[in-house]
Chain A
Amino acid sequence: MNKAQPQLHACLECDLLIKMPDSISHRTNVSCPRCNHSIAVGHNNAKQYVLAMSLTALILMFIACTFSFISFSSNEQIRTINLLQTFTELYLQEYYFVAVLVFSFILLLPTLYLLSVCLIILSSYRGFGPLPTVWLGKLMSHILPWSMAEVFLIGVLVALIKVTSMADISLESSFWAYVIFAPLFTHIVSMIDNHRLWCWIEQAKEPSHA
């Protein structure tokens, strides 16, 4: 599958030169012999797997954005919010900086990451004309540290524990979608190492040359 020649790779954290093996067997980890930095993880059909998982995660994200998230009732007053209100409410209170951060960290960046990986994989199967896969790959490496789906999930749980003592809470479909989305996203990220990602991007570039 991986046609690339036995490549040299420099460790990101200690700069040691490492000869990458031609193929990495399933579920084995290639890491730097000097500083133990993880470089690549083997998987037999990572491409199909990641594509399927990413599409699932995108659907879950779509559900999380369309339906209502949590509803809260106290003294016969009911308030139902959707996921988007977690930052639009901040925006309305003129905390623009925090609103933009929350919007990006929990929604925009994870979605962009998944969309990019799907486009890269799809165009590595067949050329999609002038898709900027290299640009998408760069984008992915820049947004990865800022995707905080799993952190948001913990935040939601803490907020819920706090609120349950004050009022009745009911969890809606969007909440459950996000509960599945966050660990799934973390899992997808752990499947995409840089080595593999750029192999896909190389593959995506080839059909367009032919």
Chain B
Amino acid sequence: MLESTKPITAAKSGLVNCLVCHQLAPIASTHCKRCSTALSSRIKNSVQISLSLLVTAVLLYIPANIYPIMSTELLGDTTESTIIGGIILFLEHESYFIAAVIFIASVIVPMAKMLALAWLCYCANRADKIKQYELTKLYRVTEFIGKWSMVDIFVVAILVALIQLGELMSIKVGFAATAFAGVVVITMISAHQFDTRFLWDKVDEE
């Protein structure tokens, strides 16, 4: 879009947008008239909160990969498998499709998401010119793919429920499931805390 004049934002017009019901209010008001949500023109400390949650998620991603996500008991033998171990096992059994799904959902998506968030936080703090349109697109992708990493947890949940044949064959959850679910939830909150309007504010300042 071509912009001949400076774009008029709500903040510049002395208005504040309610993030829940999207009603505009005078900038001085503290709570939304319609839904009584606390108002603020931009999410306070958005980048800092987002970044600290991101660091937590990265740290939690380590045990999620080290500990077993589930253990299979087959005729008395117990095999524990980690996320990566599970993928390798599928590759060995030539189940390429499942291997690909699990690999995308549990490795690529969380990694891409954490990298994207880190990049967004870095760009929001940078002084020079940024590509806000591309970054906003990146943010949307990050927000969209967030929940898809839960696939692996759901697979484990179903297998654990289904395969309970006592001595013959049974599956138990492992600690990595908790850690990985934590990673998904924390990165989702982190993405939600990031306020893309900061990116656009920088353009307006120029």
What residues of chain A have their CB less than 8 Å away from a CB belonging to chain B?
A: 8-10, 12-17, 33-37, 70, 72, 74-75, 77, 79, 81, 85-90, 93, 95, 97-98, 101-102, 105-106, 134, 137-138, 141-142, 145-146, 148, 151-152, 154-156, 158-159, 161-163, 165-166, 194-195, 198, 201
Contact = CB atoms under 8 A, between A and B. Distances in A.
Nearest to A81: B161
Nearest to A38: B140
Given A101-B185, A158-B155, A162-B98, A194 B133 contact: no
B168 A161 contact: no
B9 A10 contact: yes
Given A14-B9, A155-B154, A33 B148 contact: no
A150 to B, nearest CB: 9
B116 interface: no
A34 B1 contact: yes
A201 B177 CA distance: 39
Contacts of B93: 165
A158 B153 CA distance: 11
16 contacts: A8-B24, A10-B24, A12-B22, A13-B139, A74-B168, A79-B162, A81-B161, A93-B160, A138-B21, A151-B148, A151-B154, A155-B151, A155-B158, A159-B162, A161-B98, A163-B159
Given A105-B150, A154-B151, A155-B155, A89 B160 contact: yes
Interface in B122-178: 132-133, 136, 139, 143, 146-148, 150-155, 157-165, 168-169, 172-173, 177-178
Nearest to B23: A198
A12 B150 CA distance: 26
Contacts of B188: 145-146
B1 A33 contact: yes
Nearest to A70: B162
A151 B21 contact: no
Contacts of B152: 155
Contacts of B158: 70, 86, 155-156, 159
A137 B173 contact: no
Interface string B22-55: 1110000000001111000000000000000000
5 smallest CB-CB distances across A and B, nearest first, come from A155-B154, A10-B10, A10-B17, A14-B200, A159-B158
A77 to B, nearest CB: 5
Contacts of B58: none
B204 to A, nearest CB: 9
A65 to B, nearest CB: 14
B65 interface: no
B66 interface: no
B181 interface: yes
B20 interface: yes
Given A79-B163, A89-B164, A154-B154, 17 more contacts: A14-B196, A15-B200, A15-B201, A17-B10, A34-B1, A36-B133, A37-B136, A97-B181, A151-B150, A151-B151, A158-B98, A161-B97, A162-B155, A162-B159, A165-B95, A198-B21, A198-B34
